[in-house]
Amino acid sequence: MNIFIICDHIGFTFSNSHMDHRMVAGKKQQNFIVNGTAPPIPNAANCVVATRNLRKNQLGGVIFGCKNTTYKECLFKQLFGLPAQHFSYVKNIDPGLPLFLFNYSERKLHGIFEAASHGQMNINPYGWTTDGSEKTQYPAQVQICVRMQCQPLLEEQFRPIISDNYYCRNHFWFELDHVQTNNLMSLLASLAVSPSTYMPQNMAKWRNIFLPLPSSGTKKEDEGFRLLAPEMEQTNHTSGKWEADVFFDDIKVADDGWKFSASEVEHFSQSSSKSESTDCAPFDSLETNVEPKTTGQGEKDLILIKLKELAQKRKDQDVSLMDNVEDSTVMKEAHIEDRVLLREQTDLAQRKEDGACSSSGCQSSISKLIQEVEELRTFKAEQCGKMIQMEQKLIAAEMEIQQLKDRCQKLESLSSHSVEHVNEVEIEPAEELQLDPTKSIFLVGGYNGQLWLSTLDSYFPSDDVIKSVQPMSSVRSYASAVQLNDELYVFGGGDGYSWYDTVESYNPSSDQWTPCPSLKERKGSLAGAALGGKIFAIGGGNGIQCFSDVEMLDLILGRWISTRSMLQKRFALAAVELNGAIYATGGYDGNDYLKSAERFDPREHSWTKIASMSTKRGCHSLVVLDEKLYAIGGFDGTKMVPSVEIYDPRMGSWMSGEPINQARGYAAAAVVEGSIYVIGGVRAGEDIVDLVECYEEGGGWQLKTSTAVGKRCFLSAVIFK
């Protein structure tokens, strides 16, 4: 499963086994948090919804994502899903729309599927979770069926067709127009495979014994298939190869002429037109709506004639199903049942032929046959129940193993810090106790390339030392943090899968976190500032829309209050307090990146537009040095920029400053002892920055060698004054 950020689709999708991070640009493209092939993902981590914003009549198809860990469930449940932020186009899916499945783990595209329902939210609210114990991270869902079985495409095969969708080297939008869809379908169709490529003929015979027959032309869900599918999928599946897809589809479209369910054991239907093919059932079906006990003599004779014909057809066929099946309990049952059915039918036909079978004798044989079939079906149901339990235990074990792996990675990451937390016990070098806390920068949460972080670290840039303190209650990125009344407040943001409305405060004296009243809205990539004893949460977005809203935390009332909104919607903006006013700059309004800026004066209780910057920028940094605003780096809609602009409120205008050495966005910036420090962030090429830059007036920007911070982005920075 995945997390997306607002920035241009040019290229900032962080995708590895732990994250699928997309930074999307404006140009009528809206982007927010989301999931894939990262653990999840779902792939992963899973983000800003990368959308082309195609209208419904322009949407020709949709690519969904999966990983090796979620691939089987997508096919078995015939359900595809994406994070909620993708619902903007998933809702436009109608039945019959072509769909494709991209496996992030192997980077292969599977098809051709088609929608079997409209795109909806939470068709299965607990999909792709452990034992259905949690809400799904991929609620934008659609039911699917297979249109054509094809070999999967390698990325180098399909990339030229959807090249316009690539916004960076390895990441692309999921929406397809009609031309792209038709070209993909043509390429896949050239690699179409038939069921016989992967299934022996006798497999179809086994298959049809257990598939139920729709009555009166109405299809019913095949419970027998659902029970047997996990075992067969395990038998045929190898590391996500297409054989599993073929098997599922082949069973689904199995010969409609022979489906034999427990509820219809006592009823037979007429021969199917498909029963003559080599892949159809070994018996023609007979149809009657009368139970055997009440069948008239003429009907009994008809049954006997049919049974004779079936027995004759079966003489030249291989009755052994075990040649094509491995040692599975269900396959053995199929073989036994097939042999029993054949034996009884042959006996009945022979008796009729010799004239030795009376009507009552046939009745008895049929009753005996039905009894034996019922016993076999009861045994089969018990075995299938056991298989389901084993499958659930296997899934639980795999999840536990993955959790242990994640924990090991987290411990390995923490072990590289100079201060380690092992089982929440802090170990500090003695020399760090002498560091001056007023010369440190608190770094809050973020992402280090492998893990979403809950850590709170005190960074001393002059000594290049990190001191870890009590971590937050949960991982948090894209949040805002401010200092008020000797406490640090962190609000909003997300965990890589969803946005938060939670707020917590940290007291350095007690080294403890305290829960605070929640925001009125879930949001991330927002800005924050403290003014007049109150905290302001400014702008941001929730994955569906960008906000101009401003919320104010009144500690006396103990709740957040809506206050005067900004003049523009701003996602991934930057804001600071200076001389009793709040300044908000740049960001993304849902259509484009902004160069505009505005100021909030509490005395007038209104926002006022001020001079605009010369460069559009979002996910940038904004700090105050010598009563001037410094807007540093960010994303302009097409690329990360190194430019710096300086605003002097007394002059009411912006001027260009010396650019930073490394263009970056989503960095942390703070001022310590008259110097600006820019820490971490993201640069072009999907790289997380591990560099610290320092600026002093008159001295320019200097790269600072740092081994303490390492790679880190999407974090917040706070100075205790």
Residue 318: the pLDDT is 44
Residue 496: the pLDDT is 82
Residue 319: the pLDDT is 43
Specify the residue for token string 């069948």.
Answer: 295
pLDDT, tens only, 91-143: 999 999 999 999 999 999 998 999 999 999 999 998 898 877 788 989 999 99
**Average pLDDT rounded to a whole number, residues 195-207:** 39
Q: What are phi and psi of 99, to 5 degrees?
A: -130, 155
Answer whether residue 152 shows pLDDT above 80: yes
Residues 686 and 246: their CA atoms lie apart, in Å, by: 36
DSSP per-residue codes, 412-461: HHHHTSSSEEETTEEE--GGGGGS-GGG-EEEEEEE-SS-EEEEEEEEET
pLDDT, tens only, 481-504: 999 999 999 999 998 889 999 999
Could you tell me the pLDDT band of residue 721, with boundaries at 50, 70 and 90? confident
Residue 324: the pLDDT is 43
Residues 628 and 671: their CA atoms lie apart, in Å, by: 12
From the list 627, 525, 607, 700, the residue with the least C-alpha distance to 7 is 525
Least confident of 80-89, 147-156, 205-214: 205-214
More confident residue, 331 or 90: 90
**Average pLDDT rounded to a whole number, residues 456-480:** 93
Answer whether residue 212 shows pLDDT above 70: no
Residues 70 and 1: their CA atoms lie apart, in Å, by: 9
Residue 216: the pLDDT is 36
pLDDT, tens only, 289-306: 334 333 445 555 656 666
Q: Which residues contact 603 (CB under 8 A, 6 or more apart)?
A: 580
Answer whether residue 439 shows pLDDT above 90: no
Residue 322: the pLDDT is 43
Could you tell me the pLDDT band of residue 12, with boundaries at 50, 70 and 90? very low
Most confident segment among 202-216, 244-258, 333-347? 333-347
pLDDT, tens only, 619-647: 999 999 999 999 999 999 999 999 999 99
pLDDT, tens only, 692-705: 999 998 889 999 87
451, 718 Cβ separation under 8 angstroms: no
Answer whether residue 615 shows pLDDT above 70: yes
Residue 676: the pLDDT is 97
Number of Cβ atoms within 10 Å of the Cβ of 92: 18
Is the CA virtual torsion 311, 313, 315, 319 positive or negative? Answer: negative
Residues 527 and 172: their CA atoms lie apart, in Å, by: 29
Most confident segment among 274-283, 433-442, 500-509? 500-509
**Average pLDDT rounded to a whole number, residues 374-402:** 82
Kindly list the distances between the CA atom of residue 274 and the CA atoms of 208, 270, 284, 358, in Å, as whole numbers in the listed order: 12, 12, 9, 32
**Average pLDDT rounded to a whole number, residues 366-389:** 84
Q: Which residues contact 392 (CB under 8 A, 6 or more apart)?
A: 131
**Average pLDDT rounded to a whole number, residues 551-565:** 94
Name the 3-class secondary structure at 585. strand
Residue 621: the pLDDT is 98
More confident residue, 510 or 247: 510
Residue 359: the pLDDT is 62
Query: How big is the CA angle at 565 (ends 563 and 570), to the nearest 5 degrees?
Result: 135
Answer whether residue 661 shows pLDDT above 80: yes
Residue 193: the pLDDT is 80
More confident residue, 57 or 351: 57
Mean of per-residue pLDDT scores for the chain: 75
Residues 8 and 12: their CA atoms lie apart, in Å, by: 8
Residue 221: the pLDDT is 37
Q: Given the DSSP bridges, would you call strands 441-447 and 644-648 parallel, antiparallel or unpaired?
A: unpaired
**Average pLDDT rounded to a whole number, residues 145-167:** 91
Residues 389 and 244: their CA atoms lie apart, in Å, by: 21
Q: Which domains does the chain have, with CATH numbers?
A: 51-189 (3.10.590.10), 195-391 (no CATH), 416-718 (2.120.10.80)
Least confident of 366-370, 397-401, 441-445, 599-603: 397-401
